Amino acid sequence: MKQLLVFIRKEFYHVFRDRRTLLILFGLPTAQIMLFGYALSSEVKNINLAVVDFSKDVATQQIITKIQSSSYFNLQQSVLSYADMERAFREGKIRAAIVFPTGFNDDLRHVNKAQIQLIADASDPNTATTITNYLTGIIGDYQQQINAAAALPYQIQTETRMLYNPDMNGSLNFIPGVLALILMIVCTTLTSVSIVREKELGTMEVLLVSPFKPILVLIAKAVPYLVLSLLDFALILVLAVFVLDVPVRGSVVLLFAESTLFIICCLSLGLLISNITASQQVAMLASMMGMMLPTILFTGFMFPLENMPLPLQLVSNIVPSRWYYLIVKAIMLKGLGFGAVWKETVVLIGMAVGLLGISLKNFNIRLA
Amino acid sequence: MRILKFLLRKEFRQIFRDKSILAMIFAMPSIQLIILPLAANFDVKNVNLAIVDNDHSTYSQRLISKVGSSGYFRIIEASHSFKEALHTVEDNRADLIMEIPAGFERNLVREGSQKLSLAVDAINGTKAGLGGAYLNRIIGDFNGDVRLQWMQSGRFNEATAIDVTSSNWFNPLGEYRFFMVPGILVLLLTLVGGFLSALNIVREKEIGTIEQINVTPIQKWQFILGKMIPFWVLGMIVFTIGLLIARLVYGIIPVGSLATLYLFAGVYLVALLGFGLLISTYSDTQVQAMFVAFFFVMIFILMSGLFTAIDSMPPWARAIAYMTPVTHFIEVVRMIILKGSGLADVTRQLLYEIGFAIVLNGWAIWNYRKTN
C-alpha cells in the first residue's frame, strides 16, 4: 500500500510539473463549453429568404409583413425572375424563396382560393423541412385571419406544454452532450499516451524491473488523471450552472458519483489504447482521429439514435458517452434519481470492469 | 531546390515506414466515411408518442388511428394517466404525450369546441418543435374531417383557402446522406491533415532530431515546405478516395466541376496544414500539440455548419464560424457537389482560403526558430 502511494505521488509530480499542459487541460475545455453553450442550438433562425412577388398587391404585402415580423427570416431584396432566384440559390445567398403568382389577391377575394409556391434549398434537408413548416404556419395564420369573421364551429384547440425546458433554451440539449464528448475525448487521450510515452522514452524498462505488480502500475498511472478529470468536470459544471443557466434539478452528489464512474471508464479505455499501441503518435491519432466523429455521432445529442439503421444502433451501445449523456440529462435536466439511471450505471460499471480487465491482460511485462 | 528534394525524400520515407500510421491515414477515414453518414440522419419521422385517452370514444379512437397512420409517429404506449405517460418521457421512450380529456367527443359535438393537451420533451428542441408541428397539423386535418361531417354543404360560405405548394430544390427527395457525405468527407480530411501536421514538428523536437536539422544550412521555408508537401499529397489522396466512396457507396456524383473542387481542396489543404504546423511550432510536447489541435478541430467541427445551422448562431459566434477555414470548405463542397455552383459562385470563399493559407503558413515559418 505504501509502495502504491509513493508511486502515485511520483505520477502526480509528472503530471503537475508540466504547467503548460495543465493550463491547456483546464483552459481549453472551459473555453469550449462556453463557446458551444452559446453558439450551438438546434433552432433555425435568421434564414435568408427571397420573395418573388409577381402580384405586388395588398394581400402579398400583408403576408410579407407577417413573415418579416417573425424572427425566423431575413428578407432579401425581392427578386423579379426565376433566373435571379436560381442564381441566388447557387451562390448560397438564400435558403428559401416564396413565390406569389400574378393576381394573388384577386384569386383570394373572388375565387376564394389562391396559390403560393415555396422553394427551399434541400441540400440541407432538415433546415428545408423546418423552413417549409414555419412558412406554412405563417401563411396558415394569415388564412385564419381572413376567415376570422366567419368563426368556425367544432374547433379543437391544442395546448402545448414544454416539459423540462419551458423557456425553450436551445442549448440545453447540447451542454450535457458536449460535456460527455469533451470528458470522453480528453480522458481517453490523456491516458492513452501515459504508458506508451514511457515505452517510447525507455523509462518503462525501469518500471518493469521493479518488484511492482502490473495492476499497481496501471492504478498509479490512472489516479492523477482521475483527479484531473474530476476537477475538469467540476469546473465545467460550475460554468454550465452559473454562466449558461443550465439547471441541476437532481442530486449533485449522484452526478459526481456517476461522472467518476464515467471517467474511470474512459481512463480504462485510454489505458487499453496505450497498451496496444507502439508510439505516442499512433496512440493519439487512434484516440482522437478515430474516436472524435464516432463519439459525436453516437452520443445521441446531434442525431437521434433511433433513426439509425439497426447495426449502427448496436454500435452506439459500446460508446460509453452515450450512456453517460442519458445519465446527465436525467439527473441535471429532468431531476430524476438513481432509480431512473440504474440501468445506464450498470452498463458503465460493466464497461469499466471489462476494459480494465482487458488492459491488465494486455499489459506486457516484457518489452518487445 | 535540391535540398528540398532530399528533405521530401526523407519525409516520405518516414511516413511510409510506419505502417500503422499509414493505415490510420487511409483506412480510418474510409471506414468512417462509409459508416458515419448512415448514423447522421435527422429525418423527423420516428417521433415516439405516448397517448393518454381519457375519453375512450369513437372520436378519440379515430384521432388516435389518424395520428398512428400518418407515418411520422410511433405510438409506443397508451397510458392510463398523464403521470404514467410522463414516465415514458423520463425513460426517453417517448418524445411527446398527447392527452385526450374526458368528454372530448361530447364537448366537441355539443359545445362546438374542445381542448387537447400536448406535452413535449423540450430538451431536444428540433424534435420537440417539428413533432409538435406535425401533430398539430394532423389534429387540424382531423378537425377538418369532423367539421365536414357536421356541417351541411352550402349552409356556410366556403372558407378562403390558400393553397401552398412546396418544392425542394437540389435534393428533391430530401435525402439526408446527400447533405452529410460531402460534409463528413471534409471533416475527415480535416482530422487527418490537422492532427498529422500538428504532431509532426513537435515530434522531432521531442525526440531531439530537430536539432540535427537546425545545425544544417536548411532554410526555414525549405524545412516547412518539406513537412508540408508530403501531407498535402496524402491529403489529396484521402480526398480522392473520399470522392470515390461517395460515388460508389452513396451514388453521389458532383453536379459541378471536379476541377473547381480539386482547386479548392488543394488550397484548403495548404491552409489546414499551415494551421497544424503552426500549432506544432508553438508546442513543447506531442501531448500539448494534440490537445491544442483537439481544441480547434472540435470548434471547427461543431461550428462548421455541418450539424447546426450557422445562420441561427448569435452574430459573434457566426463571426467565429466564418473565421475557420473548414466552414467555407464545407459550404463550397456542398455547393459544387449538390448545386453545381461554378468557380464564379465560390470566388469569395476561395479568396478566404487563400488568405488563410498565406497567413497561417507565413506565421508558422516566422514562428519556427532554428535556435531554442
pLDDT at B210: 82
Instruction: Give the containing element (helix H, strand E) for A297.
Output: helix A292-298
pLDDT tens digits along B257-309: 999 999 999 999 999 999 999 999 999 888 889 889 988 998 998 888 888 88
Residues A5 and A93 in one domain: no
pLDDT at A202: 76
pLDDT tens digits along B60-72: 899 999 988 888 8
Mean residue pLDDT of chain B comes to 86
Nearest residue, CB atoms, A44 vs list B38, B309, B341: B309
Q: Is residue A157 part of a domain?
A: no
A293 closest CA partner among B300, B272, B248: B300
**Which residues of chain A are within 8 Å of residue B302 when distances are taken between CB atoms?**
36, 40, 178, 296
**Which residues of chain B are within 8 Å of residue A153 when distances are taken between CB atoms?**
112-113, 147, 150-151
Percent of chain B with pLDDT over 70: 96
**Pairwise CA distance, residues A331 & A259, whole Å:** 11
Alpha helix locations (H) across A161-291? 174-201, 204-209, 214-242, 252-276, 280-284
Residues A219 and A135 in one domain: no
Q: Is residue A159 part of a domain?
A: no
Q: Is residue A226 part of a domain?
A: yes
Nearest residue, CB atoms, B192 vs list A278, A286, A289: A289
**Pairwise CA distance, residues B81 & B101, whole Å:** 10
Provide the residue range defining the domain that includes A66: 47-149
Looking at the DSSP bridge assignments, the partners of residue B99 are B52, B117
Q: Can you say how many angstroms the Cα of residue A186 is from the centroid of all Cα atoms in its chain?
A: 15
- Say if the Cβ atoms of A129 and B44 lie within 8 Å: yes
Residues A228 and A342 in one domain: yes
Grid cell for residue A43: 433552432
- Say if the Cβ atoms of B147 and A154 lie within 8 Å: yes
Q: Is residue A189 part of a domain?
A: yes
Please give the span between the terminal C-alpha atoms of chain A, in angstroms, as a whole number: 30
**Which residues of chain B are within 8 Å of residue A294 when distances are taken between CB atoms?**
32, 36
A290 closest CA partner among A185, A206, A212, A205: A185
pLDDT at B144: 77
Q: Is B79 helix (H, G, I), strand (E, B) or coil?
A: strand
Residues B34 and B79 in one domain: no
The model's pTM is 0.85
Using pLDDT thresholds of 50, 70 and 90, give the confidence band for residue B44.
low
Residues B236 and B345 in one domain: yes
CATH code of A78's domain: 3.40.1710.10
pLDDT tens digits along B125-168: 777 777 887 888 888 888 877 777 776 554 445 567 777 788 88
Contact B345, A78 (CB under 8 A): no
Q: Which of B34, B48, B52, B168 is most worth mutating to test chain A (most A CB atoms within 10 A of its CB)?
A: B168
Does the structure show a pLDDT above 50 at A130? yes
**Pairwise CA distance, residues A192 & B248, whole Å:** 35
The domain total for chain B is 2
Contact A29, A182 (CB under 8 A): yes
pLDDT at B151: 67
Q: Is residue B351 part of a domain?
A: yes
Residues A119 and A214 in one domain: no
Residues B133 and B261 in one domain: no
- Say if the Cβ atoms of A293 and B287 lie within 8 Å: no
Residues A37 and A82 in one domain: no
Residues A239 and A291 in one domain: yes
pLDDT at A264: 94
Residues B190 and B142 in one domain: no
Close Cβ partners of B241 (under 8 Å, ≥ 6 residues apart): B26, B29, B30
Q: Is B44 helix (H, G, I), strand (E, B) or coil?
A: coil
pLDDT at A368: 47
**Pairwise CA distance, residues B99 & A118, whole Å:** 33
**Which residues of chain B are within 8 Å of residue A302 when distances are taken between CB atoms?**
40, 307
Q: Is residue A368 part of a domain?
A: no
Instruction: Fill in the amino acid letter for B30.
Output: S
**Pairwise CA distance, residues A58 & A61, whole Å:** 5
- Say if the Cβ atoms of B179 and A125 lie within 8 Å: yes
H helix and E strand count, chain B: 14, 5
Nearest residue, CB atoms, A133 vs list B24, B133, B297: B133
Does the structure show a pLDDT above 80 at A32? yes
Q: Is residue A161 part of a domain?
A: no
H helix and E strand count, chain A: 15, 5
User: Reduced to 3 DSSP states, what percent helix, strand and coil does chain B have, rounded to the nearest 5?
Assistant: 70, 10, 20
The domain total for chain A is 2
**Pairwise CA distance, residues B318 & A263, whole Å:** 33
Residues A31, B271, B210, CA angle at the centre, nearest 5°? 85
Name the more confident of A38 and B160.
A38
CATH code of B71's domain: 3.40.1710.10
Percent of chain A with pLDDT over 90: 24
pLDDT at B152: 57
**Pairwise CA distance, residues B262 & B244, whole Å:** 13
Nearest residue, CB atoms, B339 vs list A90, A277, A280: A90
Percent of chain B with pLDDT over 90: 28
Contact B323, A38 (CB under 8 A): no
Contact B277, B227 (CB under 8 A): yes
**Which residues of chain A are within 8 Å of residue B308 when distances are taken between CB atoms?**
40-42
pLDDT at B155: 47
Residues A275-302 have a mean pLDDT of 86
What Å distances lie between residue A225 and A192, A220, A270, A364, CA to CA?
A: 11, 10, 11, 21
Does the structure show a pLDDT above 70 at B238? yes
Contact A341, A258 (CB under 8 A): yes
Contact B356, B211 (CB under 8 A): no
Provide the residue range defining the domain that includes B101: 47-152
Instruction: Work out whether strand A96-100 and strand A113-121 pair parallel, antiparallel, or are unpaired.
Output: antiparallel
Using pLDDT thresholds of 50, 70 and 90, give the confidence band for residue A149.
low
pLDDT at B305: 84
- Say if the Cβ atoms of A119 and B167 lie within 8 Å: yes
Q: Which of A154, A161, A273, A308 is most worth mutating to test chain B (most B CB atoms within 10 A of its CB)?
A: A154
**Which residues of chain A are within 8 Å of residue B158 when distances are taken between CB atoms?**
112
**Which residues of chain A are within 8 Å of residue B334 when distances are taken between CB atoms?**
123-124
Would you state the torsion angle of the CA atoms of residues B228, B229, B232, B238, taken in this order, to the nearest 10 degrees? Answer: -120
- Say if the Cβ atoms of A43 and B121 lie within 8 Å: no
pLDDT at A222: 84
Q: Indicate the burial class of B110 (C-beta count within 10 angstroms; 0-12, 13-18, 19 or more).
A: exposed
Residues A306 and A332 in one domain: yes
Residues A123 and A254 in one domain: no
Q: Is residue B354 part of a domain?
A: yes
- Say if the Cβ atoms of B345 and A91 lie within 8 Å: yes
